[in-house]
Structure 1
Amino acid sequence: MTDYREILRLGSQNYSQRSIAQAAGCSRNTVEKVLRTASAKGVQWPLENDVSNRDLEELLFPEKYRNASMYTEPDYPYIHQELAKPGVTMALLWEEYCRKCHEAGETPYMSTQFGDKYRRWARVTKATMRIQHKPGDAIQVDWAGDTLPVYDPVTGEPSPAYLFVAVLPCSCYTYAEACEDMKTENWLSCHVHAFQYFGGVTRLLIPDNCKTATTANTRYETVLNRSYQELAEYYGTAVVPARVRKPQDKSRVEASVRFAETWIIAALRDRKFFSIREVNEAIAEKLEELNSRPFQRMVGTRRSAYLEEEKQYMLPLPAVPFETAVWSVAKVPNDYLISDGRNKYSVPYDLIGEKVDIRVTKATVEVFYHGSRVASHRRLQTIQREPLVKLEHMPLAHQKYLAYNAEDFSRWAMSMGPMTEKVVQHFLTSGAAPEQGYKACASLTKLGERYGRERLENACGRILAYSTTPSVRNISSLLKNGQNRPVKAAPPDNPNDSNRFGITRGASYFKKGGDR
C-alpha cells in the first residue's frame, strides 16, 4: 500500500515530488495526486498517530472502496456542518442517513460504524472543533490566578490588577480585561464587554463558583447571585456554574487562562503601568496577537475559527447594553438611611427595622420592599459627608424641623404678644447664627400650643421682669407651676360681715379697758 503518511510528511517539509517519490517508493504521478487531493480535502500534516495509511486511502480515494463495499459512505462534511446546529445529534443524523439509504435502495452503516467513521474523518481533516463543543453554545468565564501590578503615580506603591478571561470553547476565541478588584460590579461589567467583543451571546454561560456568580451550589440546588441572574435574563442566556472542585467542566477556560497568563501577564512583566486604563490598552494589543496566533495542531487561528465556525450561531445582542446593577439586602436603621458602600440615602421612615432589597447601578440607587420599589435616588459619584434625604421620607416632626426659619418664628411671636416677641428675638440673636436659636424657638411654640397665648405671654413677661436672659426651661417651669397667672386682689373688710361666719369676737372685744 502507498505510504500516504510519508508523502504528506515530506510534502509538508517542501521536498520535491521526485524526492518524495524516491523516499516513499512510488511514482511522481502518485505523489502529485495524493498531495493535490489532500489539499482539496483539507488533510494536512501532522496527523494523529492512530491515523493509518488505510484510513487516509479511504478518505482520499473513497472510489476504491465504493465498489468493494456494500455500504454507502456518509457525507462527512454535511454531518460536520449539521452538528453545529442547536439540538442536532449524531443519533438524529444517523436516522436521516438510514432513511436516505433505504429510499435509494442502498445499505447504511450501523450507528456505531457511522460514528466511528465520522470521528476518524474529523480527526484526519482537523475538523475537531465541534466534536465536544457546539459553536455558539457556551461562554466560559473565570478570573486568572496571577495579577498585574499597577503603580501609584505619586507614592509608587503597587496594587494588583485582576485579569478576567472569557472563552468560546468551540473556537477558543478569547477576551480578557483587567480590573482593580473582583467585586460584583466589575464582574458584571466584564461580561457586558465580553459580549460586545464577541458580537453576540451564547445559549449557556459557565462561570466558576465565586460569590459574584453563585450564593450556593450544593448537590441538590444552585442559587445564583441576583445581580448575575438579572444579567443572564437580560441577554437571554442561562447560567450553568461548573461543579464544585470539577475544573474539567470548563477545561477550555482553564487552558485559556493559563494561555492568557503566559501571553498577556508574562509578556507584560517588564512594563510598568500607572492606571487600569494603561493596563487594558496593553492587554488589548496582546489579545489581538493571541487571537491571531496560528493553532499548533489545527488549521487557522482563534479569530478565523470564530468567524468561520461560530459567529453565525451566536445569539444577537440587545439594542442597549445591560446596565450593571448590584443587589444587596439591608435592615433599615433608626435614621432610615441605607448605604451604597460610599454614601447614604433615605427610605420611608415607616420601614425602620424592616429588611429591604437595594439595587445599585452606576447612576441610580433603588430600594425595594416585598418586590415593590419604595425609594429611588440618583447615585452620588463622589463621597459626601451629608446623606441624600427626601422630605417625604421623614417623619412629620423632622419635616417641620427642616422647615424652620427666623422669619416664621418672628411672625409667630408677633401674633402671640410683645413679651413673647422679645423672648424669640433674644433666642435668635444671642448665638453666632440664628439657627442656633431654632431649637429654643420650636420648644416655645410647643408651649404656646399647650398652654395658650395668654399664659405664654404672661410667663414671658414675668421672666423678662427679673432677667434679661430668658430660657425655655424657666418659662416652662412657670407654666407648669401656674406662677404665670395674675394674682387676684383680696376684697375689703365689711363691718357688717362680723357675724357672717357665726359667733365671733370683734376688735372691740379685745380693746383694753373695754367691756367684757
Structure 2
Amino acid sequence: MAYLHRELAKKGVTLALLWEEYAAEHPQDHYSYPQLARRYRAWRDGLEVSMRQVHKAGERMYSDFAGEKLRIVDAKTGEISYASLFVACMGFSSYTYAEAFPSEQLPCWIAGHVNAISFFGAAPHIITPDNPKAIVTRACRYEPELNRTFSEMAAHYGCVVIPARVRKPKDKAKVENAVLQAERWILAPLRNRTFFSLDEANQAIRERLAWLNNRRMRGMEASRSELFAGVDRPAMLPLPTRPYEYATFKRARVNIDYHVEVEGHYYSVPYRLVGEEVEVRMTR
C-alpha cells in the first residue's frame, strides 16, 4: 500500500492505472479493482491526518514558525532571549527543514524560505505559508495581497504563493504536523541544553534534523529522506544560479535635478521622470 501511495503522488498516475499494472503482473492471483481500492482507502485512513491528503510529487512546500521557543543565553551578560523555530516541509515526503531565528519578522521569513530551498536543493512549485501579517498584507479567501518582498522571493525561484486560508485547518495540517514533529524530536531533546548563540543552537538543530529526516515513518516503510529523494526531488524546479537577495521597496518622488533621495543618498534617474513618484528597490 505504501508503494501505491508513493506512485499516486506522481503526475498523471491513477489508482486505476496501478491496478492495471498490478493485475498484469499477477494475472492468476490478484484483487479486483474495487477490492484494491477499498484496501488502499482503509490503509490510507490509518495514516496521520496530514498524510491522508493527496500531495503531488514536488508540488508544494509548507512553512510556519513553531509556537515553542528556544532559549539563548548571552555569554557575557547572562541575558536571556528566545529564538523562534522556522519549519518548512515538502507535501508528499514530509522532508523537513528547521532553523532558529531571532524573530518572526519579514527578514526571518525570507531567510527561512531561501535557506529551506537551498537545503532541498530544488524549489517547489507552490509555497504555502501560514497567514502571518509579515507575509499577507491583506487577507482574502481567493486573492490575498502578499508582501512585495515575499512575492519577489517566490518569483525568483519560479514558485507560486498560496497561503493557508484562515479557519481552514486542512490547508495547514501538513505543516502543523511538521511543527509538532519538530517540537517533539528537535526542541524537546534540546530543552536542557544551554546555548550561547544562534549559531550554536542551529548546529544542534541540524543534528536533530538529520535524525528526524532519516527516521522511518510509521506506515510508509521509508524515511523522509528516502521519500524526498525518490518522489519529491525529481519533480521539483531547478534552482537559479544565485539565491534570492533580500530587498525592500519604498515610494520616492523625483526631484527637479532628476535625483531621488533614499536613506540620505541620492540616485539619478531619467530626466523625463522629474516630478513623478517612482518605486525604489533597496538591497542590503
TM-score range, shorter chain: 0.7 to 0.9
Give the SS at the match of 1:132. Answer: coil
Report which of the two has the higher share of strand: 2
- Pair 1:136-2:54 in alignment: no
Q: CA deviation at 1:186?
A: 2.0
Aligned pair in 2 of structure 1 residues 331, 137: CA closer, same or farther (>3 Å)? Answer: same
* Structure-2 residue corresponding to 1:300: 222
Indicate the residue corresponding to 1:187 in structure 2.
Answer: 109
| Change in 2 beyond 3 A, CA 1:331/1:216 | farther
Alignment partners' CA distance in 2, 1:281 and 1:330: 42
User: Contact 2:122–2:238 at 8 Å: present in 1 too?
Assistant: yes
2:127 aligned residue? 205
1:118 aligns with 2:37: yes
Q: In the alignment, is the contact (CA less than 8 A) between 1:83 and 1:130 conserved in 2?
A: no
How far 1:354 moved relative to its partner? Answer: 7.0
Q: CA deviation at 1:285?
A: 0.7
Contact in 1 for aligned 2:9/2:92 (Cα 8 Å): no
Offset of 1:145 from its aligned partner? 1.0
Q: Please, which of 70, 73, 85 is the counterpart of residue 151 of structure 1?
A: 73
Pair 332,153 (structure 1): closer, same or farther in 2 beyond 3 Å: farther
In the alignment, is the contact (CA less than 8 A) between 1:184 and 1:326 conserved in 2? Answer: no
Task: State the one-letter code of the partner of 2:175.
Answer: V
Stretch moving more, 166-175 or 352-361: 352-361
How far apart, in 1, do the equivalents of 2:5 and 2:169 lie?
28
Residue deviations 1:377-405, cap 9 Å, x none?
Answer: xxxxxxxxxxxxxxxxxxxxxxxxxxxxx
Mapping 1:45-56, distance limit 5 Å: none
- Supply the distance in 1 between the matched residues of 2:10 and 2:140 (Cα, whole angstroms): 32
2 CA distance for matches of 1:168 and 1:220?
A: 23
Distance in 2 between the 1:299 and 1:220 partners?
A: 37
**Alignment correspondent of 2:262:** 338
1:408-441 Cα shifts (integer Å, max 9, x gaps):
xxxxxxxxxxxxxxxxxxxxxxxxxxxxxxxxxx
Matches within 5 A, 1:151-300: 151-300=73-222
Report if the CA contact (8 A) 1:327-1:359 is conserved: yes
Shift of 1:158: 1.0
Query: Structure 1 residues 122 and 135, CA, compared in 2 at 3 Å: closer, same or farther?
Result: farther
Q: Helix, strand or coil: the match of 2:234?
A: helix
Cα gap change, 1:356 to 1:202, in 2 (>3 Å): same
Question: Could you tell me how far apart the structure 2 residues matched to 1:330 and 1:160 are?
Answer: 37
Equivalent residue number for residue 384 of structure 1: none
Kept in 2, the 8 Å contact 1:80–1:130? The answer is: no
Q: Over the residues paired in the alignment, what is the CA RMSD in angstroms?
A: 3.5
Larger Rg: 1
Q: Counterpart of 1:314?
A: 236
Q: Are residues 1:323 and 2:248 paired?
A: no
Unmatched segments (≥5 aa) in structure 1: 1-41, 44-76, 102-108, 363-516
1:186 partner amino acid: C
Deviation track 1:307-326 (CA, whole Å, cap 9, x = no partner) reads 22322222211222222223
**Aligned partner of 1:118: which letter?**
A
Change beyond 3 A, Cα 1:122–1:171: farther
The separation in 1 between residues aligned to 2:198 and 2:137, in whole angstroms, is 28
Q: Which runs of 5+ in 2 are unaligned?
A: 25-30
CA shift in 2, pair 1:252/1:80, >3 Å = closer
Structure with more helix by fraction: 1
Using CA pairs under 8 Å that are at least 6 residues apart, name the structure with larger relative contact order, 1 or 2: 2
Residue 286 and residue 330 in structure 1: after superposition, are their counterparts in 2 closer, same or farther (change >3 A)?
A: farther
CA displacement at 1:147 relative to structure 2 = 1.2
Query: What one-letter code is carried by the residue in structure 2 that aligns with 1:275?
Result: S
Instruction: Confirm or deny: 8 A CA contact 2:44 2:52 kept in the other structure.
Output: no
Deviation at 1:85, TM superposition (A): 2.7
- CA deviations 1:77-131 (Å, max 9, x no partner) are 6x7665333355558x59x96xxx9xxxxxxx9xxx8466335247559997686
TM-score (normalizing by structure 2):
0.79
Structure 1, residues 123-155: CA drift from partner, whole Å, max 9, x if none?
559997686111211000001111112122221
Q: Distance in 2 between matches of 1:86 and 1:275?
A: 44
